[in-house]
Chains A and B, each alone.
Chain A
């Protein structure tokens, strides 16, 4: 493989990003559990340090190449050819940045709302951050799998310990659902490993050719893991429960970064390693995406629970993401990756917003609200930005992503494009109806006299607002990172056929 091993940061920046939160955890362990203000402070400082440390990624990333950057590689278990191998390309970099940012916001929004087991709560948050960054940075399949599963445990605790009334059911469901998928992926990883001559290197695996039948089997094995995580229809039912029951920070992490791991999995593994199968499965994937868009949207119209509605809207929005990715053209895929980021920002923002008001009213029932705009004008203004970004209004990031996805989807299949475009009508329907019921009309009993957002909450919400407009007005700021990587990936997927089938035959000949 001609991949150049570069690390322009000059120090192992990715390792630092992964282990810095764990350092924070170590520090937290030393703090007395009664000293809650110090616990929060340590968590905040750790998360801010992580974010600052991740900024060099943004500034020194080389946009002219698809090669992996900031690469680190150390032999880890040589006997099995397992390496500690990290690196980023244009597809993964934004999610690392998003993760470090979102962690800060999660710490801020939980400041006063988490009153029980504070120490363990922030430890969980930081461990999740570490694992998620690991997932996006790993270039070794074994390492990837470890991070992938490691993330489950603190997340399970976040939902199961600090969640709502039905938290245990939701946590177990979340855990088992994703674990079942992951196990099938593990089988797939092992098959790949053995077939490729004991190799876990993701970059190298993505440049080899595999027999068609094997690709199909592996595709579905990976699908099991990634589709659950996305979540795609029909394996989405864990999401509403998990989102609804999770504490605010848990919902935000779930929505903003965790479910992106599924779509990222398709981009990093399914497409480049299994190009022929991916192409062959495009109709299935697009059909499931279109169903998710419409199904997830319509089901929102009947929700009575704030968080549940936003959770189902995620199903619809992630349908757009997978539609774009499997359109297998530039606009669709770039739109899809951008929309992953956008969904993280917007839905993350929506959950942050819901968290802020839940702290005041302690109810998630939409019917308990009404007239919030009269008592909390600043909050209402921020929330409407999230609402319209979710609807995909031009000048917000949501528009750029959705437009490119629909354009790409339409190019790939007119029917899919037209059907998915109805999602923009349904989306406007449920979001504006939600906004009306919560913010407009007469002030409800539970709403009267609420205080507007304070400085801390503003600090948690404003970054998302800035990102929404920044990406909406100048999307190239983030899309510039992905052009080369997407081009390379599409070449791999779409040109795989020409030499792929012939090579596949050769390989099969040899096998006989």
Chain B
């Protein structure tokens, strides 16, 4: 019973084959290797899900990775309900996006390289979700970060792309800094980094307080927040969200796979996986909930005014990730993971549709220069429309069920900030519906605003691209049906399935309240769509007027609250200034080198003075000799006194 090992190692084998033989031998057939491998992983994942559904779980070590004193950690695999769901999400999205990429990347000079990276990414992501200890999780965590770096900077001859890749990696390192220290604390506290051992001992430390850097803190809060630092980086939450919008420099399939469906949700996965730790700390949960809610609102407001097709979806991703954290923070881990799972489908679909649009528009990204694409690319239009309806929370679609569950559990749960984050979440639902449909209307409706050349070129994308769109569209519509709440006659199967790992968050409220929360979220969703229709279809002159009226606000939003500029001003430039002007300029050059070069020159100077005694004149020497004799004699005499 080790067939599950195929899940990560098939893509790994594909990576090795493509990276070694891709450039010279395989070339344009690289997609066969990678796609078949990931499809194989998908099949095995489905088999694994069946096994898990029938009650099986795996927790097995492959070999000892690191051993030092009492520190021991293995490469090992844990397969339970949470892993099984993540496996399905990752392999399904990955397989479809591989197929899509065959069409999208066709003719690119780095074709084999692209598929190598995709395979490597899939491997690392699967290692991340299948880990049975924190170290291997960290391995996968950094591994997906590496692939993200490669793929964002895929067009490395563009400065903006290579900047964005570097930025993503470094910003993530800030999060990993905390994450790493969290792992140290876990090892020091529990003497192990294996999940099962850590989580089973965690409850025993519910009240423990420790000294951390001189502060007396609650141990579980400390560990939870340190781990959450990692999540903030990987899942692009404030204040480390800055890398994700820039990550759109990568090819669109990458945005769909890594920066929407899978990698960025790793932070949510981490919190859900560590729910036994987070649940022991109310403070940590409040921080998670508020970070999620604030990020969600913050990103949604930026999304309102952007014109770059992919960046709007990127901000939407940041916002939806915030939603997932909001859910985890109110203790509704299942709802968070449920949203992760539905979001993967509709958000991947949105990105792939965006890719299809770019394909037709010859790389154009500005939605102000699009319009009326509906008639040229009907499949893209309809799938994107359904994805947008799903994210807007239209009843019956996937996004509706997961979003509704989050809002309901926030409203009715035990969290002290529940009502606040519910209110914020509801506002975000309105904004989400609005900007999603602003995008739809500007892109597909109205008249075409691009160049004649572009208009002439407009066409629907090839089959390899549209078929994955249609399959994902099924997911965007139907994936929520496994979690239909009891209220509307469903079985809430998803919640039941996850219960052993994630526990069960109970809402405390009447049916009437539950209906009310649902009604409000549906109402705000529809009004968002309605407002977008009014502003961008019925009265297209309105947006310009509104912008003029609120010019300052628009400017702040359009410039993303100037956060990038702030970081550059506060962190990057001062650090480089210090390096140049203090470390090199003062300490190294003026202090250390002054001593190093100063001592020899002082000795040299002294010698030059001493040399003056070497006059070469006999009478001088005779005088000195005589003086010497006199001194020695005097000393001898005095000593014998």
B-binding residues in A (CB < 8 A): 173, 176-177, 234-238, 295, 298-302, 329-331, 334-335, 371, 373-374, 377, 381, 388, 393-395, 399-400, 403-404, 406-407, 410-411, 414-415, 417-418, 421-422, 424-425, 428-429, 432-433, 436, 439-443, 473-476, 479, 483
Query: Which residues, 154 to 195 on B, are CB-close (under 8 Å) to A?
Result: 156-159, 162-163, 166, 169-170, 173-174, 176-177, 180-181, 184, 187-188
List of A residues within 8 angstroms of B631 by Cβ: none
Q: Are B159 and A237 touching (Cβ within 8 A)?
A: no
Given known A298-B579, A373-B156, A432-B170, contact A411–B188 (CB-CB < 8 A): yes
Quick one: which of B63, B139, B146, B587 contacts A388, CB cutoff 8 A? B146
Contact-residue size bin, chain B (C-beta under 8 Å from the other chain)? 35 or more
* Number of inter-chain CB pairs below 8 Å: 139
Q: Are B170 and A301 touching (Cβ within 8 A)?
A: no
In the complex, whether B1 has a CB less than 8 A from a CB of chain A is no
Q: How far is the CB of B186 from chain A (nearest CB, A)?
A: 11
Q: Are B177 and A302 touching (Cβ within 8 A)?
A: no
Q: How far is the CB of A510 from chain B (nearest CB, A)?
A: 34
Q: Are A237 and B592 touching (Cβ within 8 A)?
A: yes
Quick one: which of B71, B143, B177, B583 contacts A394, CB cutoff 8 A? B143
List of B residues within 8 angstroms of A479 by Cβ: 66-68
Quick one: which of B64, B188, B213 contacts A415, CB cutoff 8 A? B213
Quick one: which of A295, A404, A483 contacts B583, CB cutoff 8 A? A295
20 A-B pairs with CB atoms under 8 Å apart are: A237-B592, A237-B596, A298-B579, A302-B583, A302-B584, A330-B69, A330-B70, A335-B68, A394-B138, A395-B139, A414-B213, A417-B181, A417-B184, A418-B213, A422-B177, A432-B169, A436-B153, A440-B157, A476-B64, A483-B68
Quick one: which of A395, A424, A432 contacts B176, CB cutoff 8 A? A424
Quick one: which of B19, B153, B176, B578 contacts A298, CB cutoff 8 A? B578
List of B residues within 8 angstroms of A176 by Cβ: 600
List of B residues within 8 angstroms of A415 by Cβ: 213
Given known A415-B213, A475-B65, contact A394–B142 (CB-CB < 8 A): yes
Quick one: which of A330, A425, A436, A442 contacts B166, CB cutoff 8 A? A436
A51–B506 Cα distance when bound, in Å, is 67
A482–B267 Cα distance when bound, in Å, is 37
Q: Are A421 and B579 touching (Cβ within 8 A)?
A: no
Q: Are A298 and B181 touching (Cβ within 8 A)?
A: no
Nearest B residue to A393 by beta-carbon distance? B142
List of A residues within 8 angstroms of B149 by Cβ: 432
Q: Are A440 and B156 touching (Cβ within 8 A)?
A: yes
A236–B588 Cα distance when bound, in Å, is 9
Among the interface residues A295, A394, A411, A441, which one has the most CB atoms of the partner chain B within 10 A? Answer: A394
Nearest A residue to B136 by beta-carbon distance? A394
A150–B515 Cα distance when bound, in Å, is 86
Nearest B residue to A371 by beta-carbon distance? B157
List of A residues within 8 angstroms of B569 by Cβ: none
In the complex, whether B620 has a CB less than 8 A from a CB of chain A is no
Given known A302-B584, A410-B184, A432-B169, contact A394–B579 (CB-CB < 8 A): no
Nearest B residue to A480 by beta-carbon distance? B67
Nearest A residue to B146 by beta-carbon distance? A393
Q: Are A425 and B174 touching (Cβ within 8 A)?
A: yes
Q: How far is the CB of B73 from chain A (nearest CB, A)?
A: 10
List of A residues within 8 angstroms of B596 by Cβ: 173, 177, 237-238
Query: Which residues, 203 to 217 on B, are CB-close (under 8 Å) to A?
Result: 212-213
A436–B159 Cα distance when bound, in Å, is 9
Q: Are B69 and A334 touching (Cβ within 8 A)?
A: yes
List of A residues within 8 angstroms of B463 by Cβ: none
Q: How far is the CB of A125 from chain B (nearest CB, A)?
A: 28
Q: How far is the CB of A455 from chain B (nearest CB, A)?
A: 15
Q: Are A400 and B66 touching (Cβ within 8 A)?
A: yes
Q: A393-B143, A415-B213, A475-B67 are in contact. List 20 more A-B contacts (CB 8 A).
A: A237-B596, A298-B575, A301-B576, A334-B68, A371-B157, A394-B142, A400-B66, A403-B135, A404-B68, A407-B187, A411-B188, A424-B173, A425-B170, A425-B174, A441-B156, A441-B158, A476-B67, A479-B66, A479-B67, A483-B68
Given known A234-B592, A424-B180, A428-B170, contact A301–B68 (CB-CB < 8 A): no
In the complex, whether B580 has a CB less than 8 A from a CB of chain A is yes
List of A residues within 8 angstroms of B64 by Cβ: 476
Q: How far is the CB of A324 from chain B (nearest CB, A)?
A: 11
Nearest B residue to A422 by beta-carbon distance? B177
A399–B145 Cα distance when bound, in Å, is 14
List of A residues within 8 angstroms of B576 by Cβ: 301-302
List of A residues within 8 angstroms of B513 by Cβ: none
Q: Are B588 and A433 touching (Cβ within 8 A)?
A: no
Q: Are B188 and A424 touching (Cβ within 8 A)?
A: no
A301–B170 Cα distance when bound, in Å, is 13
A418–B226 Cα distance when bound, in Å, is 12
List of A residues within 8 angstroms of B499 by Cβ: none
Q: Are A425 and B68 touching (Cβ within 8 A)?
A: no
Given known A301-B579, A411-B188, A415-B213, contact A439–B69 (CB-CB < 8 A): no
Given known A295-B583, A302-B580, contact A414–B212 (CB-CB < 8 A): yes
Nearest A residue to B64 by beta-carbon distance? A476
Q: Are B139 and A440 touching (Cβ within 8 A)?
A: no
Question: Lowest 9 A-B CB distances belong to which pairs?
Answer: A330-B69, A302-B579, A440-B162, A394-B139, A440-B156, A302-B580, A299-B583, A425-B173, A410-B184
Q: Are A404 and B71 touching (Cβ within 8 A)?
A: yes
List of B residues within 8 angstroms of A395 by Cβ: 139, 143
Q: Are A421 and B157 touching (Cβ within 8 A)?
A: no
List of B residues within 8 angstroms of A400 by Cβ: 66
A424–B175 Cα distance when bound, in Å, is 11
In the complex, whether B564 has a CB less than 8 A from a CB of chain A is no
Q: How far is the CB of B634 from chain A (nearest CB, A)?
A: 33
List of B residues within 8 angstroms of A422 by Cβ: 177
Contact string against A for B residues 567-593, beta-carbon threshold 8 Å, 1 for contact and 0 otherwise: 000000001101110011001100111
Q: How far is the CB of B601 from chain A (nearest CB, A)?
A: 12
A194–B23 Cα distance when bound, in Å, is 66
Q: Are A301 and B66 touching (Cβ within 8 A)?
A: no
Nearest B residue to A435 by beta-carbon distance? B166
List of A residues within 8 angstroms of B169 by Cβ: 428, 432
Given known A406-B180, A441-B156, contact A436–B163 (CB-CB < 8 A): yes
Q: How far is the CB of A266 from chain B (nearest CB, A)?
A: 19
List of B residues within 8 angstroms of A177 by Cβ: 596
Contact string against A for B residues 72-92, beta-carbon threshold 8 Å, 1 for contact and 0 otherwise: 000000000000000000000
Q: Are B139 and A301 touching (Cβ within 8 A)?
A: no
Quick one: which of A234, A301, A374, A388 contacts B157, CB cutoff 8 A? A374
List of B residues within 8 angstroms of A440 by Cβ: 153, 156-157, 159, 162
A425–B181 Cα distance when bound, in Å, is 13
A329–B187 Cα distance when bound, in Å, is 14
Q: Are A436 and B184 touching (Cβ within 8 A)?
A: no
